[in-house]
Chains A and B, each alone.
Chain A
Amino acid sequence: MNNDNVSSRLEKSMAAMDALLHRSVNPDMHRRLFRVFRREACVYFMEGVVSSDFLQHYLLSPLMKRSMEETAEYLPQLLAESVPLIEAVEAERYADAVREMMIGKAVVFVQSMKCAVCFDVRMFVRRGISPPLTESVVNGPHQGFNESIRDNITMIRRILPTPDLVGEMITVGDRYPTALSILYLKGVADEGSLERIRGRLQCIKADHVMSIGMLEQLLEDSPWSLMPQCCLTERPDRAASFLLEGQIVLALDGSPQILCMPVSILHLLHTPDDSSMRWQYGSFLRLIRLIGAASTILLPALFVAAVTFHPELLPVTLLTAILESQAAVPLSIPMEMLLMLLMFSLIGEAGIRVPGVAGSSLGTVSGLILGQAAVEAKLVHPLLIIVVAVASLGSYAVPDYGLGLACRILQLLFLGAASVFGLYGVVLLLGVGLIRLCAVRSLGSPYAAPLSPVRLHNPDTLMRFPVWMQTVRTWLASPEAMRRAMGSDRRKR
């Protein structure tokens, strides 16, 4: 990239800009010559990202009408004053001018002016506000983020209209930068966490950060751990709830999800529905989700362990039924279980890739047909299908997609342990797994908190207590902002 300062000679500036933009082969990069303040001038812009109306009516038209001569020294200021656009930024180097042009600004060079002036005439093509694809709720708003960072920040600001909501704008990506916003509530977010996240963002060495998922992998504490250490959400209300808890939210231009850090494993089991419902219903659903997650991880393993190693645990009636049907099946029970789990995962993946109604029909039909056909062909026995179906449903009950996938991988690990060592292997792996869970950190904060280590927390972890009891922010917030107002004064009713 050309780091030279902008020349006062227009020809030289145009030559430099043409070279940087590869105009000879890049038809998207446009240049328009005109005269302003009785001097030669030109404007560079990129087709498709600027608004033609803004460019013509609010930039070129007012400038072209300026025909009195002015001294070169005051040109940048006069240019900015002449144009009724909100943003006008000076660029002293060609590299800066190109960078501004790439994010949708029009860059104006004038003969004898020693800098370029960049005007905001952006009008990107973008998707409208639509319901989130992966986080549906029964109660609560149905708005989801889109790919525009500006729209996403606007949606959050609508929910939290306070000047304390700070959105620091930076770029990530050394060669092809992308805009990133670090959002937090000033006075609520922990300064230590902010420093850590700024430091990690500065340490990112990548040409381009394509998506928020890539950013997650570059920021997380334990890249080798199965557990997701950030929460990705498509919902502005959920992002706002994270901010209120003192967590930090990152919005990346081009990604319809935002990333929240630090989190604990319990955050990943919460849904926005929980706080919208009465505490009894929220607690009940949370319990169902926990049972679902536990079933996903443990049920296939426990079944294999009981049938293969500990048949004395099963009632003989059930055991004999299993063994009678198993007598005709060529595969061992662990292999059957593995086959069926992989098949159900395949059906799930295929359902995601096939769009629309066909996707859900595909899932239903293939599950029914394949399962039924497998039983009739005596490849598996019926009880195993039920176990696999319950376990697979459990993984879909986990709200966080990453955590759901982690549960499915753990399911296979536990199945392996059960196949080799029975219930003892399952218990041993469970012990090791819980200890490794305590070793994971999210932005330096313990992942298994507040269970272990115990931290001061909102009564909204495993069970959701009434909202009027939730007067404390999580341990993730700044110490000075732990207490918050919540509830109504029942004495005045």
Chain B
Amino acid sequence: MRTTVFTAQERRQRREAGDRLARMCQIRLISTVSMLTALFTRVIPLCGSAGWWMGAVCMLPGLATYGLLCAAIRSCGAKTLQEAVLKKCGRAGETLVRLLLGVLFLLEGAGSLTALVTAFTEGIGTEGTQFTMALLTLGAAVLCLHRDALARGIWLMRRGMLLAALVIAALLAGMLRPDGLHPVLGPGGSALQAAWKAGCTLAWPLILLLTAEPAKGGRLRAATVPVFFSLGTGAALCLIYPCEMLIRETGLAGTLLLPARHLPAAAATAAHCLGMLGAFLSIASCLQLGAQQLEMRRRLNWLPFALAGLLALLQLIPARRLWLALTGIMQYAPVLLSVWALILVIRRKKCAE
């Protein structure tokens, strides 16, 4: 068996590449959880059986912004979005974009936390309150806030989670009906407009992939897993449940638990566990990466704990109101990123930095 042996420098480069891969995997998980949650809770409940193509349409603006930013980053020879902004807009611009990214990570974490807590308190039926469940989740997330270990842990778990997802998908495959794609416009024209309005920023989490250096395969490959996984799951949902069931008013918990509701008990529990684990890892990652952005290149060890406390305090707001507020803000926040994208494309490189 031929074995390639590397020099010490090559080993170091390979290790750095491995760390980049783990970091990308972490951000892809955040993106996937975010996009799936948005698809299940904002798009499909409005457009029903049109969700399988409406999801793709809602992703277009986000994908376009992502592409634009990728091109802008490549054009100025930077590795990350922050670096590109630094080169083109100076230190002030970099500070602003870091602030924006940090806040977006936090919003993402808050959204995942609200969804997770609501699914458990209202859906599955735990005895804890919204706040205490949030405390528990954030307490566990704080235990995971290690510099390298969180990304490596997600990398380690990825195959197990993918395998579980495949098994659940295989069980769901037995419930697919091709007529689920019809009627193609779902409830009708006004519903599609509402779905577009609610879901046009569906793909914005892909932009978070630009905050880290690209791994092997480039940025396009990094975006494929969240996009195709989300679209595939959305299409499967439409194929399994008729339009009338998808648009039935069941609240946030109902929409989150619907995909696995009709599975046999063991598979449904496994699906809930998988969703819970994904959401939990996403929350921990958002805390870590958000703190990294807000640190502004300094080392503030207390910051992730403070952010965890902030997220916990947010859960004192009733879940329904909090969810509406978060979805409202997240609809408009990525617009700022699009503005940054245009600035990066148009503005010439600054000479000093």
A: which residues have CB within 8 A of B? 310, 312-313, 421, 423-424, 427-429, 431-432, 434-439, 446, 448, 451-456, 469, 471-472, 479, 482-483
Contacts and interface: CB of A to CB of B under 8 A. Distances in A.
B26 to A, nearest CB: 11
B6 A428 contact: no
B27 to A, nearest CB: 16
Contacts of A471: 1, 3
B5 A483 contact: yes
Given A313-B266, A479-B8, A451 B1 contact: no
Interface string B255-295: 00000000001100100110011001100100000000000
B155 interface: yes
Given A424-B273, A431-B153, A439-B148, A453 B143 contact: no
B330 to A, nearest CB: 25
Given A427-B276, A431-B153, 18 more contacts: A312-B265, A423-B273, A428-B277, A431-B144, A434-B153, A435-B143, A435-B152, A438-B153, A452-B152, A452-B153, A452-B156, A453-B15, A453-B18, A454-B18, A456-B5, A456-B6, A472-B3, A483-B5
A483 B3 contact: yes
Contacts of A427: 273, 276-277
B19 interface: yes
A312 to B, nearest CB: 4
A209 to B, nearest CB: 30
Interface string B108-129: 0000000000001000101000
B6 A424 contact: no
A429 B7 CA distance: 39
Contacts of A439: 146, 148-149
A438 B14 CA distance: 18
User: Which of B6, B146, B153 has the most CB atoms of chain A within a 10 A radius of its CB?
Assistant: B153
B300 interface: no
Nearest to B276: A424
Contact of B280 (A428, A446, A448, A451): A428
A472 B5 contact: yes
Contacts of A482: 3, 5-6
The 6 A-B residue pairs with the shortest CB-CB distance, nearest first, are: A435-B153, A439-B149, A452-B156, A312-B265, A438-B152, A438-B149
A423 B271 CA distance: 12
Interface in B300-331: none
Contacts of B350: none
A431 B273 CA distance: 11
A470 to B, nearest CB: 9
**Interface of chain B, helix or strand or loop or mixed?**
helix
Nearest to A447: B149
A431 B277 contact: yes
A492 to B, nearest CB: 17
A143 to B, nearest CB: 33
A441 to B, nearest CB: 10
Given A424-B276, A432-B143, A439-B149, A310 B3 contact: no
Contacts of A454: 18
Given A434-B156, A471-B1, A424 B272 contact: yes
B341 interface: no
A438 B156 contact: yes
B140 interface: yes
B265 A446 contact: no
Contact of B281 (A421, A431, A438): A431
Nearest to A192: B8
A302 B3 CA distance: 42
A432 B148 CA distance: 14
B337 interface: no
Interface string B1-33: 101011110010011001100100000000000
Contact of B156 (A424, A451, A456, A479): A451
Contacts of B155: 452-453
B152 to A, nearest CB: 4
18 contacts: A312-B269, A313-B266, A313-B269, A423-B269, A424-B273, A427-B273, A431-B153, A431-B157, A436-B146, A448-B156, A451-B156, A452-B22, A452-B152, A455-B15, A456-B11, A456-B14, A471-B1, A472-B3
B150 interface: yes
Contacts of B126: 421
User: Which of A428, A434, A453, A482 has the most CB atoms of chain B within a 10 A radius of its CB?
Assistant: A453
Contacts of A312: 265, 269
Contacts of A434: 153, 156-157
B215 to A, nearest CB: 12
A309 B156 CA distance: 28
B156 A431 contact: no
Contacts of B3: 471-472, 482-483
Contacts of B152: 435, 438, 446, 448, 452-453
B148 A424 contact: no
